Amino acid sequence: MSRRAPRVVVVGGGVAGLVIARDLARAGLNVEVLEGSRHLGGVVGPLTVQRDPTAQAAGRGRFRTVTVDAGAESFATRSVAVADLLEELHLTSRVVPPSPVGAWVAHDAGAAPLPRSGVLGIPTDLEEIERVAGRAAVRRARLDRYLPRRIGTGRAGTSVSLGHLVRARLGQEVLDRLVAPVAGGVHSTDPMLLDVDAVAPGLRRAVAEHGSLMAAAAALRAAAPAGAAVAGIRGGMHNLVTALADEVVGHGGVIRPGARVDAIERVAGTRRSPWRLTLADGATLGAAHVVVATDLPAAGALLTPLLPGVTIPQPSGGAGVSLVTLVLEHPDLNDAPRGTGVLVAPGAGPALGIRAKALTHASAKWDWVRDALPRDHHVVRLSFGRLGEADAPTASNDALISTAIHDVGVLLGVPVAPEQVVGSAVVRFPAGLPYAGVGHADRVRAVRAAAHEQPGLHVAGAWIAGTGLAAVVADARAVATALAEQLKNGTGHLAD
Ligand SMILES: Cc1cc2nc3c(=O)[nH]c(=O)nc-3n(C[C@H](O)[C@H](O)[C@H](O)COP(=O)(O)OP(=O)(O)OC[C@H]3O[C@@H](n4cnc5c(N)ncnc54)[C@H](O)[C@@H]3O)c2cc1C
């Protein structure tokens, strides 16, 4: 790396920031990552759960610690973005599919296995609908085949929500019992708020082409690579973060944890370092190029003064997510009574008397988690907090764990006594998940265009690329390629 190369500063050491820094460092550029917290990876990181001291004293539980993922635990395989990156990082041999037993959905009238063939819960055949939502729902969904293609898809140039499209073509029951739980699990919000073009690109066009929403979902699914819709890494997704950070440093890049950026300004008259970053401790740093790869609230705070006239969309009401991981010693769970886990239909919580919005039976989903524990031990993870539900994320850890112990029994259909819990941990994600609201694609275009007008300013991360590692990685790599190209060609405004 040339000492004289202009400095690129990446603000945010989540997966987006680390991917960009890794690609730039490999290209021989002078790159520095400023990460506000003490840990890299953002919402991707390890969580080590220890045996509860009370359980230990009572001779319950036969493990010392188990390490699982704190946040993201899988990646979508609909594109090759993550798989390609993992191959470059020599992690392919550790990529594993989840157990094929599949997940369930809980709604106010019971629980049923989720269809596995669709897209975001949109089923591809009527039998799947009958199993989860009953005959009346099938009768309504049948109309999908006969409705004019324009119904639900909106006019060209307008935005349509996922919920609107599903309700118009397949009916309310399919929306409530199939699509809302899956979309809520992935995006932490109501499908009526999600921009269909952002969360299921190509779906609207496929309806026009194939004549029905179910056929469109089947076509999109068929176009995706064969096999499970998601995959994980043996040992946890957090291994991706370690591998990325190792490569950044190995190629001469610098990573500074605990370096929160409070402000970014453009300084007139300095050709080589026109950007000045002010850190939380008051220190300042110059840069030729700045990549803002933080979470949504921080991106809003840092970019709003730089991009006048552009609104960085903040989720109203917040969607802070809290995850409770429990280690249970419970032989009745060995048969995975609800497969890999349960998604809860929005609105079903009060009828079922529960607060959780989803449960992952991690030791049933991933062989490597099961193998990390003695027989009859299980790891389950419950998530709390949906857009508009503000109290779950603010509850105390003890209150959340008690709620989780109650909810796990209801969701798995097997009574769970508090003494069967031999380890527990709570992880909070106050920034929650940025969701792609209706009109998201237009707002993203506006932010990108405004940033492009500011020479040397770049934006990345889930808040702009869309939620999920597949979207984040693909976008981050595109940002890195464009920036490296600029600097190589000397079109980077400040290249020497
Ligand atoms: C609980 C949870 C589970 C998920 N599960 C999955 C899953 O299984 N599969 C999947 O594909 N996706 C999943 N996702 C989504 C996916 O993990 C994210 O979309 C993706 O990891 C976001 O990466 P990012 O780098 O854009 O943002 P983040 O991970 O949020 O990283 C942003 C980083 O910026 C730092 N930062 C913030 N402000 C500043 C500042 N001022 N200065 C310096 N640094 C700053 C933060 O500390 C953080 O490290 C999940 C998300 C959550 C919350």
Q: What is the pLDDT of residues 344-400, one digit of tens each?
A: 988 888 999 999 989 999 999 999 999 999 999 999 999 988 644 555 556 789 999
pLDDT at 491: 57
Give pLDDT, residue 315.
57
**Pocket lining: 20 vs ligand 1, CB cutoff 6 Å:** no
| Distance between Cα 442 and ligand 1 center (Å) | 22
In Å, how far are 314, 335, 414, 423, 424 from 326, measured between CA atoms? 32, 18, 15, 6, 4
- Each residue of 238-253: pLDDT tens digit? 999 999 999 999 999 9
Residues 6+ apart with CB under 8 A from 455: 274, 493, 494
For atom 7 of ligand 1, which residue has the closest CA? 72
Q: Please tell me the distance between residue 295's alpha carbon and the centre of ligand 1 in angstroms.
A: 6
Q: CA 189, CA 316: separation in Å to the nearest integer?
A: 11
The reported pLDDT for the residue numbered 77 is 87
| pLDDT beneath 70, residues of the chain | 1-5, 188, 226, 313-319, 386-394, 431-436, 491-496
The pLDDT assigned to 436 comes to 67
Give the distance (Å) from ligand 1 centre to CA of residue 437: 18
Atom of ligand 1 nearest to the CA of 39: 49
Domain 7-38+258-313+435-489 and domain 117-223, same fold? Reply is no
Q: Please give the number of the atom of ligand 1 that sits closest to the Cα of 70.
A: 1
pLDDT on residue 356: 92
* pLDDT of amino acid 5: 63
CATH of domain 7-38+258-313+435-489: 3.50.50.60
To test the pocket of ligand 1, the residue of 37, 292, 295 to mutate (highest count of ligand atoms within 8 Å of its CB) is 295
The per-residue pLDDT for 155 is 84
Fold of 46-82+316-429: Polyamine Oxidase; Chain A, domain 2 (3.90.660)
* Domain ranges within the chain, ordered by starting residue: 7-38+258-313+435-489, 46-82+316-429, 117-223
- Nearest residue (CA) to ligand 1, atom 35: 12
The alpha carbon of 321 and the centre of ligand 1 are apart by a number of angstroms equal to 12
CATH of 117-223, one of 1.25.40.850, 3.40.50.300, 1.20.120.420, 1.10.3110.10: 1.10.3110.10
Q: Which atom of ligand 1 is nearest to the CA of 463?
A: 26
Choose one of 69, 294, 303, 472 to mutate for the ligand 1 pocket test, by most ligand atoms within 8 angstroms of C-beta. 294
Q: Ligand 1: distance of its center to the CA of 45 in Å? A: 10
In this prediction, residue 393 carries a pLDDT of 57
Q: Determine the distance separating the centroid of ligand 1 and the alpha carbon of 57, expressed in angstroms.
A: 37
DSSP 105-158: EEETTEEEEPPSSSBTTB-SSHHHHHHHH-HHHHHHHGGGGTS-TTTTT--TTS
Q: Does ligand 1 come within 6 angstroms of the Cβ of 47?
A: no
Helix/strand/coil for 408: helix
Q: How far is ligand 1, taken at its centre, from the CA of residue 329, in Å? A: 31
- Per the DSSP assignment, residues forming a β-bridge with 107 are 110
Residues in the chain: 496
